[in-house]
């Protein structure tokens, strides 16, 4: 149900962008566009686990925020943070009665952002951006039961890389709405995660954690 609601929310946001009133577009084109020096954005959507994470977690929630400093009309330097909450699978037969532990990923990093297709001109309110970056991800599991009856969790921080693409619409000079997706790859250590095999012997320790957030966002910009 959570997965359906998040997917529906992202889909509805996309439909709203595609059906944006023609009057808004005309108003935008009729106004002299002012390049932005700095903007901040917030996002929410679905976090889709991949690779080894999808073996014991389900689609969860993504929340995030970023700030970008525009060096030119095309290039920006950005800092960003993301939180991905992935619920553990509860239907693994060999896992404990309560299922596999929930997993959260907290990412902090920075990188470069590139705008495509003359998107920072007055010709059109639509824009496409892509970004690449690196940083660190804190991986944390819910406490789980060991064979000896003790409880523990996994809490470790790892380096990561990320990349994404976004389709957006200029609602006005100082606000944009967008939908997009990104991939976040954290370089984990097998030795840190070996204890998970105690509750899922069919699983194997892994040296990378991959998640794909699909989100809708709102950005507010400050003019030069």
Which domain range does residue 124 map to? 2-19+38-223
Asked whether residue 191 is domain-assigned, the answer is yes
Asked whether residue 72 is domain-assigned, the answer is yes
Asked whether residue 77 is domain-assigned, the answer is yes
Asked whether residue 127 is domain-assigned, the answer is yes
Query: Rounded mean pLDDT of 8-28?
Result: 48
Whether 157 shows a pLDDT value over 80: the answer reads yes
Whether 47 shows a pLDDT value over 70: the answer reads yes
Asked whether residue 50 is domain-assigned, the answer is yes
pLDDT at 4: 45
Lowest-pLDDT range, 6-10, 37-41, 136-140, 199-203? 6-10
Structure tokens at 57: 């977690």
Burial class of residue 162 in the structure, from the number of CB atoms within 10 Å of its CB (0-12 exposed, 13-18 middle, 19+ buried): buried
pLDDT in tens, 70-94: 888 789 999 999 999 999 987 765 5
pLDDT in tens, 133-146: 999 999 999 887 76
pTM: 0.78
Instruction: List b or e across 115-153, with b for residues whose CB sees 16 or more CB atoms inside 10 angstroms.
Output: beeebbeeeebbbebebebebebbbebbebbeeeeeeee
Q: How many CA atoms, within 13 angstroms, populate the side-chain half-sphere of residue 38?
A: 4
Q: Are 183 and 151 in contact (CB under 8 A)?
A: no
Asked whether residue 24 is domain-assigned, the answer is no
CATH number at residue 203: 2.40.160.20
pLDDT in tens, 49-73: 999 899 889 999 999 999 999 888 7
Q: How many domains does the chain have?
A: 1
Task: Collapse the DSSP code of 8 into the 3-class scheme (helix H, G, I; strand E, B; otherwise coil) and give the result.
Answer: helix
DSSP labels, 142-154? --EE-TTS-EE--
pLDDT at 30: 40
Asked whether residue 27 is domain-assigned, the answer is no
Asked whether residue 80 is domain-assigned, the answer is yes
């Amino acid at each position: 149900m959570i997965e359906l609601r998040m997917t529906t929310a992202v889909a509805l946001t996309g439909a709203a962008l595609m059906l944006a009133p023609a009057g808004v577009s005309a108003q935008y084109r009729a106004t002299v566009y002012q390049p932005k020096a700095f903007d901040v954005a917030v996002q929410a959507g679905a976090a889709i686990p991949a690779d080894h994470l999808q073996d014991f977690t389900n689609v969860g929630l993504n929340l995030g925020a970023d700030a970008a400093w525009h060096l030119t009309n095309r290039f920006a330097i950005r800092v960003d943070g993301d939180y991905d909450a992935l619920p553990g699978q509860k239907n693994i037969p060999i896992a404990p009665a309560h299922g596999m532990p929930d997993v959260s990923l907290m990412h902090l990093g920075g990188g470069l952002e590139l705008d495509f297709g003359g998107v920072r001109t007055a010709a059109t309110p639509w824009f496409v951006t892509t970004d690449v970056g690196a940083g660190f991800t804190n991986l944390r599991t819910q406490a789980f039961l060991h064979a000896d009856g003790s409880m523990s969790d996994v809490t470790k921080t790892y380096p990561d890389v990320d990349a994404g693409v976004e389709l957006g619409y200029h609602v006005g000079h100082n606000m944009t709405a967008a939908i997009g997706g990104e991939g976040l790859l954290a370089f984990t250590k097998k030795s840190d995660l070996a204890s998970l095999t105690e509750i899922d012997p069919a699983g194997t320790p892994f040296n990378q954690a991959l998640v794909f957030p699909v989100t809708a966002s709102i950005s507010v910009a400050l003019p030069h």
